[in-house]
Structure 1
């Protein structure tokens, strides 16, 4: 059952940012509910980082509104509820991880060194000792950036490419950390170009293209849209479609173009191919497919789900 959340951690209303007259973010209406892990997806230059910078107060919008936990982003009480890692962590290169943490904690008015040590331990940096951060790998710097974002025990973590540069073990550890913190009630807004990893942690997604929000979708809705299907390419869709619907029950069909049909709810395809061949319909290709997040994302980016696409329904299924 899908979790229900009563209030929004992040809400933008017609949020707009322009550079040299061009809209980097265009009338964006983003909604991130409390307690969720929101994956923010878009190609390079789509407006992800610009959006996150505005949410963190690092960039000023030209118009629109930002509300965090129901309050304006300018509210000083709201700022203490947010932890951010945008693009890369601002580190003092000649300081150790712990010294960087203590410096930021002091700037935030925090004095609990035990809390700093706990965060370093949770992010896998407790054993870096006297090593200066200028000698850190990119992955270690990313971990430290997340550790810095966790100072002050924020309710909302805004992370821009948090697993950039991490090895597989590091990615797994950060994933487990995000899960653990989310279980404690923290909300995450995460941008990443590594869609396979994002799909393992996100409960909700937002897709942005050219500064415009294409779609917001929950994990459950995405899984329904990415159901397994049988795709068949034939020489005559107009003849093939009635035959398929006549001979096979409890399926849903979609015509993709003048030679391609997708069939949902089909258990096996041998009988279907035989029916078409016996009726002198040439079958060029056929097989089962599963649309993952990357394929779904690319389809949305390429506008393949346009209003002109034909969709035919049989049974009780709903058109995607």
Structure 2
């Protein structure tokens, strides 16, 4: 479980979070839903220790972890494609795998490739479709065998088949991982979400969730 306690964050005079409190359960997919600029990506980056909060605490399975300790336990998969375009898929995998002390083995990599329908090992990343790049991007984030997986808009702008492949792997991973992701796709919420956390002030998302009868937590309203 990840516990967020009394989290504060502001950019200049703009307050993003004021005494935010919430928790994220293990062995489940938690979806952050809300409008652009609501703070979804900021929260993910603070959980991943890529950005500092102005106050409050974040605990991981009951522990306060340093950035170095968290790196071995968390996989962060950003919305931007973080790959070397001039290198092949295999070369990217080999490079990023070498950054971890205890990376997953070749058998696990091949299992993830199979789930993702990812078989373009020798192709240069620059030549791949947007959907295939996103699948490689996701695989790179799993190379350190993380307990916690954070995905920021993992299927934005890609075809339906690639989205389906990514959904399949996420549903496999959540059996023993803590997964948090952001999305604007309501069908994605229905396909892979176990818990919905609403973040933002636009009433649209709340109205849709109420209309569909999907339970959710309005995490800003709690504060």
C-alpha distance in structure 1 between counterparts of 2:17 and 2:135, whole Å: 28
Matched residue pairs, number?
A: 212
Task: Verify the 8 A CA contact 2:39 2:199 in the aligned structure 1.
Answer: yes
Tell me the residue number matched to 1:206. 197
Instruction: Provide the alpha-carbon RMSD of the alignment.
Output: 2.6
Task: Verify the 8 A CA contact 2:49 2:67 in the aligned structure 1.
Answer: no
Tell me the residue number matched to 1:147. 139
Summarize the Cα distance change of 1:173–1:31 in structure 2 as closer, same or farther, 3 Å threshold. same
Task: Verify the 8 A CA contact 1:199 1:293 in the aligned structure 2.
Answer: no
Q: How does 1:242-257 map to 2 (within 5 A)?
A: none
Shift of 1:13: 0.9
* Structure 2: unaligned runs, 5 residues or longer: none
Tell me the residue number matched to 1:197. 188
Task: Verify the 8 A CA contact 2:131 2:158 in the aligned structure 1.
Answer: yes
C-alpha distance in structure 2 between counterparts of 1:80 and 1:13, whole Å: 23
Summarize the Cα distance change of 1:48–1:193 in structure 2 as closer, same or farther, 3 Å threshold. same
Structure of higher RCO (CA pairs closer than 8 Å, 6+ residues apart): 2
TM-score between both structures, scaled by the size of structure 2: 0.84
* Structure 1: unaligned runs, 5 residues or longer: 1-7, 216-224, 227-290, 304-320
Shift of 1:134: 1.8
Shift of 1:25: 2.9
TM-score between both structures, scaled by the size of structure 1: 0.60
Task: Verify the 8 A CA contact 1:18 1:24 in the aligned structure 2.
Answer: yes
Q: How does 1:52-71 map to 2 (within 5 A)?
A: 52-71=44-63
Shift of 1:73: 3.8
Shift of 1:160: 0.7
Task: Verify the 8 A CA contact 2:32 2:199 in the aligned structure 1.
Answer: yes
Shift of 1:60: 1.0
Residue deviations 1:43-65 (CA, integer Å, cap 9, x gap)? 00000001101111111111111
Shift of 1:173: 1.7
Larger radius of gyration between Structure 1 and Structure 2: 1
- Aligned residue for 1:162, secondary structure, equals coil
- Aligned residue for 1:14, secondary structure, equals strand
Task: Verify the 8 A CA contact 2:149 2:180 in the aligned structure 1.
Answer: yes
More deviation, 116-125/163-172: 116-125
Shift of 1:293: 6.6
C-alpha distance in structure 2 between counterparts of 1:40 and 1:198, whole Å: 9
C-alpha distance in structure 1 between counterparts of 2:60 and 2:182, whole Å: 18
Is the aligned partner of 1:84 residue 2:37? Answer: no
Is the aligned partner of 1:120 residue 2:120? Answer: no
